[in-house]
Amino acid sequence: MKRTLAIETLGNISETIKVQGWVHSRRDHGGLIFIDLRDHTGIIQLTIGDGSEGFGTAEELRDEYVIEATGKITERSEDLKNPKIRTGSVELLVESLIILNKSEALPIQVNSTQYINEDNRLRYRYLDLRRPKMQDTLKKRAEYYTYIRKYMESNDFTEVATPILANSSPEGARDFLVPSRVHQGMFYALPQAPQQFKQLLMVGGVPRYYQIATCFRDEDPRADRLYGDFYQLDLEMSFVDNGEEVRSTMEPLIKNLVTEFGGKKLLSDSIPRITYADAMNKYGSDKPDLRFGMELTDLTDELRDCGFGVFTNAISQGGAVKAIKVSSQFSRSQIDEMTEKAKAEGAGGMPYMVIENGQATASIAKFFSPEDLNKIVTKLEANDGDTIIFGSDKLEKVNKVLGSLRSYLGDKLDLKDPDTVALAWIIDFPFYEFDEKLNKLDFGHNPFSMPKGGLEALESDDKLGIVADQYDMVANGYEICSGAVRNHNPEVMYRVFDVLGYDKEYVESKFGAMLSAFKFGAPPHAGCAFGLDRIFMVLTNEENIREVIAFPKNGSGVDVMMNSPSSADPKAVKELGIKSLK
RNA sequence: GGGCUCGUGGUGUAGAGGCCUAACAUGCCUCCCUGUCACGGAGGAGAUCGCCGGUUCGAAUCCGGUCGAGCCCGCCA
């Protein structure tokens, strides 16, 4: 076994050993120097007395010097043991000491848990990574990959690598383009996902494919979304024509990742299937956090003829009135903050009322008759001390605003148990959506999924009612997986685009390879892709996804350590046939 | 592209018109110290308060612009 600073590998008491690592801290008592030596496994105390051969060297040491020490492992006397570190019952009595490399004064401290702003951490990521927490993250992430691979292999999935230099895809996120030198004026694109390749693998006779795939998207990041490249567990299964088979194949892995690997509780052992429509109506989100209730209640019918113009107007214009009940009361400033939140989501304001002594008071209560108030209180089962928050507008807007407030209040009221993971499958996404901005029909998710009901369903007059055989998995309010039963039938493919007004030529120009492949005996197939960074983030209770990878870009896509992106050698640019640079 | 918040010694913060010749913690440098483990003690260096402009007798503090960061909206099939 390689000698590390883990207690198990240090050797026996009074054995003479050699250890290497970084100077975590140094305590100089004049004639006696203590050094905390650190490596990826932990810390051991080195003790050097005046008179020992290494003493002179020990006096020169500074934080983060890299050293090698030789000495005798010695048990500490009872009163000197330090229970805070794993090796605290022993220390190394140093006989000789070598400096392997020095360190300048540090821009960020390694031996501290003090908050450091992220810009500095990323600029000196190699120092940041030395910190025990980041060491643990990297180690745990490697175990996570192993755990996943083991499951996939034991379920007969074959790992296949797909190209990084791929093709631009017309739907979806913005591509990273790579200019071709050999074919000037032409571009590769880094894959947003191996979507088309994995479907071609199905046509290619691979029964079950998986890959821990790097995916590239040039879109603005978020706390739960990396800029540039990120990782997916991408998989696909042939001769599968229903999503349930994919879901039940992958469920055990995710559940075990939560419990066995992550050491957390599942909210429920059986994972609910919730339709997109139900999720939107009950939680105002297609990625609801199910760890708490506070569901949206529809009051449209009850309040159609109420005395409050804001509500009746919304309803008469085809909109809805909904409410959430919160078992809590709020200060003026809290209400203001929530109102700001609602406005940020597009609401005009945040009407609310408070139930006190069996009476509704505050904000908009005065606009309602006792009968209307009674309907509200009854439907929401509201009690003294509850606050009822309303939304009225188009249904989609109401869902969005109240869904956002629900999540916000879940945080504020501490309803999100960090030790519990609530999983759910969201199913039956709408195939088409109405794009308000372009004032036309567009794909809801992706054009590769099979419409439920196939060709026949596409003929429906209610295009917005067509459901895709498409499913997401959500965990604690995060979307962690997206998948679908794929459309492997060229006729259906043409028709899917035809509904949006795209002709055959368009489809062939964009998806030529897939379409022609599908003409040569494509098996039905289905699959999905899990966001590995995001799942790991949930499992480790991190709120920022940049905490779970070694070298993330910052919010504007810059690697502040490596200084990328950067300008290129003009010669290389010229060779690519690119003429104009700013 | 838009909104909100932030920018003060190496690091993390305080200061919110004059008390600032800018404070505290930590780090750094010098010296003392043989049982510390966030060692302790004495001394010292280090910031024109992101940048530009304005208001004012006076600006780290107020205003405008600009640059950078974080979060959110848009975007992310």
pLDDT of residue A441: 85
Q: Which residue has the higher pLDDT, A11 or A475?
A: A475
- Confidence band for A384, pLDDT divided at 50, 70 and 90: very high
Q: Can you tell me which residue has its alpha carbon closest to the C1' of nucleotide B35?
A: A80
User: What sign does the dihedral A131-A137-A138-A140 (CA atoms) show?
Assistant: positive
Which residues share a beta bridge with A442?
Answer: A433
For residue A51, give the nucleotide whose C1' atom is nearest its CA.
B34
Give tens-digit pLDDT for A102-122: 999 999 999 988 889 999 999
Q: From residue A546, how far is each of A213, A217, A223, A537 by CA, in Å?
A: 18, 16, 8, 9
Q: Can you tell me which residue has its alpha carbon closest to the C1' of nucleotide B37?
A: A82
Query: Other C-beta atoms within 10 Å of A322: how many?
Result: 25
Mean pLDDT of A419-446: 88
CA-CA distance, A102 to A83, in Å (whole number)? 30
- Confidence band for A348, pLDDT divided at 50, 70 and 90: confident
CA-CA distance, A302 to A305, in Å (whole number)? 8
For residue A346, give the nucleotide whose C1' atom is nearest its CA.
B73
Question: Is the per-residue pLDDT at A98 higher than 90?
Answer: yes
Which residues share a beta bridge with A181?
Answer: none
pLDDT of residue A444: 85
Question: Is the per-residue pLDDT at A580 higher than 80?
Answer: no
CA-CA distance, A379 to A272, in Å (whole number)? 25
A181: Cα within 13 Å, side-chain hemisphere: 5
CA-CA distance, A31 to A79, in Å (whole number)? 20
Mean pLDDT of A41-65: 94
Contacts 24+ apart (CB under 8 A), A330-335: A330/A387, A334/A412
Task: Work out the mean pLDDT of chain A and round it to a whole number.
Answer: 93
pLDDT of residue A1: 65
**Secondary-structure percent of chain A, ordered helix, strand, coil, rounded to 5:** 30, 30, 40
Mean pLDDT of A422-434: 94
Chain B positions with any atom < 7 A from a protein CB: 1, 3, 10-13, 26-29, 32-40, 68-77
Q: What is the pTM of this model?
A: 0.94
pLDDT of residue A578: 86
Mean pLDDT of A234-257: 97
Question: Is the per-residue pLDDT at A494 higher than 80?
Answer: yes
Looking at A395-475, which runs of residues are DSSP E strands?
Answer: 420-421, 423-430, 432-435, 440-443, 467-475
CA of A134 to C1' of B67 (A): 31
Q: Can you tell me which residue has its alpha carbon closest to the C1' of nucleotide B7?
A: A117
Residue A249 contacts residue A224 (beta carbons within 8 Å): no
CA of A107 to C1' of B9 (A): 13
Question: Is the per-residue pLDDT at A349 higher than 60?
Answer: yes
CA-CA distance, A387 to A309, in Å (whole number)? 21
- Give which of A400, A380, A406 is closest to A298, Cα–Cα: A380
For residue A173, give the nucleotide whose C1' atom is nearest its CA.
B76
Which secondary structure element, helix H or strand E, spans residue A98, and what is its range?
strand A90-101
Helix segments in A443-489, DSSP class H? 454-458
CA-CA distance, A310 to A347, in Å (whole number)? 12
pLDDT of residue A86: 94
Full DSSP string of A531-566: EHHHHHHHHTT-S-GGGGSSS---TTS-BTTTTBS-
- Confidence band for A159, pLDDT divided at 50, 70 and 90: very high
Q: Token pair for residue A455?
A: 């060709």
Exposed, middle or buried by CB within 10 Å (0-12, 13-18, 19+), for A447?
Answer: buried
CA-CA distance, A582 to A574, in Å (whole number)? 14
CA of A120 to C1' of B26 (A): 16
| A467-475 β-sheet, strand order | A158-159, A208-217, A228-238, A525-531, A478-485, A467-475, A423-430, A273-275
pLDDT of residue A437: 73
Q: Token pair for residue A547?
A: 């905490």
Question: Is the per-residue pLDDT at A582 higher than 60?
Answer: no
Query: Other C-beta atoms within 10 Å of A577: how many?
Result: 13
- Confidence band for A340, pLDDT divided at 50, 70 and 90: confident
Q: From residue A332, how far is each of A335, A336, A337, A355, A457 by CA, in Å?
A: 5, 6, 9, 16, 51
> What single-letter DSSP state applies at residue A175?
P
Q: Can you tell me which residue has its alpha carbon closest to the C1' of nucleotide B31?
A: A30
Mean pLDDT of A364-384: 92
pLDDT of residue A581: 59
User: What sign does the dihedral A207-A212-A217-A219 (CA atoms) show?
Assistant: positive
% of chain A beyond a pLDDT of 90: 80
CA of A174 to C1' of B60 (A): 42
Question: Is the per-residue pLDDT at A243 higher than 90?
Answer: yes
Q: Token pair for residue A125?
A: 């990521």
Question: Is the per-residue pLDDT at A439 higher than 80?
Answer: no
CA of A397 to C1' of B3 (A): 18
Beta-carbon contacts of residue A252 (< 8 Å; ≥ 6 apart): A151
CA of A550 to C1' of B1 (A): 30
Give tens-digit pLDDT for A467-481: 999 999 999 999 999
Give tens-digit pLDDT for A521-570: 999 999 999 999 999 999 999 999 999 999 999 999 999 999 999 988 88
CA of A543 to C1' of B12 (A): 21
CA of A43 to C1' of B38 (A): 15
CA-CA distance, A299 to A378, in Å (whole number)? 11
- Confidence band for A362, pLDDT divided at 50, 70 and 90: confident
